[in-house]
Amino acid sequence: MRIALLTEGGYPYATGESHAWCDRLVRGLTGHEFAVHALTTHPRQEAGQPPELPAHVRLAHTAPLWGALSGAHLRPAGERRTRTAARRERRRFAEHFADLATALTADRTAGPDGFMIDKADRFAAGLYGLADLARTHGGLPALLCSEDAVRILEAACRGPRALPAVHGAQVRDLLTVTEQLERALRPLSLDWYGETPDGLGGADLCHATSGGAAALPGLLAKRFFGTPLLVTEYGVRLREHYLAHAAAPLTAPVRALLAAFHGALAAETYARAALITPGNIHARRWQQRCGADPGRLRTVYEGMDAAPFAAVADAAADDPKTLVWVGAIEPDKDLIGLLHAFAEIRRAEPAATLRIIGGDGHDPRAPGYRAHCRALAAQLFPDEAADDHTVGENPVSFEEIGGPEVPTLEDAYASAAVLVLSSVVEGFPRSLVEAMFCGRATVSTDAGAVCEVIGGTGLVVPPRNPHALAEACRALLGDPGRRVRLGAAARARALELFTVEQNIAAFRGIYLELISHAPGRPAASGAAYADGVPRPFDSPAESQVPGHWAAAPAGHTPSWAAGDGPDDAGVPAGAAAGAPCTGRGEGS
């Protein structure tokens, strides 16, 4: 099976969890051919050579979502640009971009309920109209940054049904929005849509590893070639856009227009995808709020490698009373609340210590936040020496993986009596899963997918509640037997649900399920037989039913279809000529 893997800012260029997950996926599914279509988000991602890929994986295309789009990435123009053709192209662009702009600026509360349906239809009409224009004529990036685009967007913002937030949009706001739209819509203009082995027309399945721009090529492949689209989101792309817009220095009209675009794109992606695989229930709820059909949502937990943590010794009843926090230090992790909770813990457990292990996060406020946490720890727990000749020790330490005290991540978890998480905002809590692999008891705040991951094998308290966090930690520090029991249950749960093997097995089944329901496509079949080797799923199962259906004259009813029972070929009585079987076969 030929899988087009669609990525944005990740595999195979970037490092991190998105790269690691994709790499584990393709290396675990060696029976398929993967063609990676990568959208890069920063110049440094293309500065060096990507890592060596497995033999069954190739880097088919790369295109930037930053800087200017070079002609090497663009789809060739479909016709010579005469003055008449240019005017016709501008008229088509104005029509389709007006549909898109109307969908983005329309007030959700305006008009009857039918207007809401029309809003989604207008967005789809504008999006696919622009895609068709780029396919036949080219030149879409320049049109999106043109004065025509600014005028059309301005007229939509001044319309009677426009959002109140966009009424006051200034020219500089409109220029910012059109620039952002040009980058977000770059996949419409790329030369990825040929019916060649490297083109999306030659793929059996498009697998987008996130929503947003990465899913756009999959939407077009579905429109142009009928290719099924699978969308996987371990971090909901729409949520990431909302958080980025909230932190960026944007005006209210710009923020409202960009939020409307990303929300409409997410809704269109969820509506067209054959299957959506959220990484947890928290992500699933976001997708359902954006209109995703619950019947096409299937939770597949992100697979993590449990092997490095297998050597960590089981928790013992006589472990030191050490609390360990692991992660990226940034304001969302609420280490301030954790330090205040630890001050309360120390009053009941004077021997307790707290190790904060991790570097600065991606938040620009992270370095200042780390310094603030250090200052607060020094204030709450001043170093007290026993006499004039000894050095005082602070019960709170700030360390990083790779240092002399914590050479590896496994060493960090091995030193913990209790792993504590204090976040107020959290996605999928990887540190909790790693601690569960190590058999450690945990105390966490109820944020993101924490409750779903813990599942009763640890203690969970409300966020921003230092007193509740302190009470839970004291309860486990004072009960060694309970810590051991919870740690054993946590390890069993993690090995059952969150391993790489579980993730790969789930996607192996999903790939076969989706392609078994997809009809054979001439473009994909032609590409498959180019090397003379037949491939499975190039033709639908019903094409193998005996009989000459195509040769039957109009109005003629075959003898096997007119009888009351199955004929000699085993075809059920009453089956319509040419109708495919609706039952599930062995390959479904």
pLDDT more than 70, % of the chain: 81
Among left, alpha and beta (phi > 0; psi -120 to 50; other), residue 316 is: beta
Peptide bond into 12 cis (omega under 30): yes
Q: How confident is the model at residue 95 (pLDDT cuts 50, 70, 90)?
A: very high
Query: Does an H or E element contain 178, and which?
Result: helix 171-184
Query: Does an H or E element contain 37, and which?
Result: strand 33-40
Domains and CATH numbers, the chain: 2-67+195-296 (3.40.50.2000), 83-181 (no CATH), 307-498 (3.40.50.2000), 546-575 (no CATH)
Look up residue 405 and give its amino acid: E
Predicted local distance difference test score (pLDDT) of residue 14: 73
- Summarised one tens digit per residue, pLDDT across range 122-154 is 999 999 999 999 988 888 999 999 999 999 999
> In angstroms, rounded to a whole number, what is the distance separating the alpha carbons of residues 230 and 218?
8
Mean pLDDT of 543-553: 48
Cβ contacts of 120 within 8 Å, gap of 6 or more: 103, 264, 267, 268, 271
**Tokens describing residue 585:** 């076969």
Among left, alpha and beta (phi > 0; psi -120 to 50; other), residue 194 is: beta
Chain mean position to CA 199: 23
What b/e string do you get for 329-359 counting C-beta neighbours within 10 Å, with b at 16 or more? bbbbbbbbbbbbbbbbbbeebeebbbbbbbe
Residue 510 neighbours by CB distance under 10 Å: 19
Give 390 or 526, the one with higher predicted confidence. Answer: 390
**Tokens describing residue 158:** 């001044």
* E strand intervals along 134-228: 205-208
Predicted local distance difference test score (pLDDT) of residue 113: 46
- Summarised one tens digit per residue, pLDDT across range 186-216 is 999 998 998 887 889 989 999 999 999 999 9
Q: How confident is the model at residue 320 (pLDDT cuts 50, 70, 90)?
A: confident
Mean pLDDT of 41-59: 81
Q: How confident is the model at residue 555 (pLDDT cuts 50, 70, 90)?
A: low
Predicted local distance difference test score (pLDDT) of residue 405: 82
Which of 40-49, 203-212, 266-275, 443-452 has the lowest average pLDDT?
40-49
pLDDT above 90 (res 254): yes
> In angstroms, rounded to a whole number, what is the distance separating the alpha carbons of residues 271 and 261?
15
Q: Are 264 and 123 in contact (CB under 8 A)?
A: yes
- Summarised one tens digit per residue, pLDDT across range 421-470 is 999 988 889 999 999 999 999 999 999 899 999 999 999 999 999 999 99
Predicted local distance difference test score (pLDDT) of residue 499: 95
SS3 442: strand
Q: Are 424 and 331 in contact (CB under 8 A)?
A: no
Which of 3-17, 220-234, 415-429 has the lowest average pLDDT?
3-17
Look up residue 329 and give its amino acid: I
Predicted local distance difference test score (pLDDT) of residue 388: 54
Which of 9-23, 157-171, 354-368, 449-463 has the lowest average pLDDT?
9-23
- Using only the alpha carbons of the chain, give its radius of gyration: 28
- On the CB side of 210, CA atoms within 13 Å amount to 25
pLDDT above 80 (res 71): no
322: nearest Cα among 260, 415, 229, 239: 415
Give 159 or 152, the one with higher predicted confidence. Answer: 152
pLDDT above 50 (res 551): no
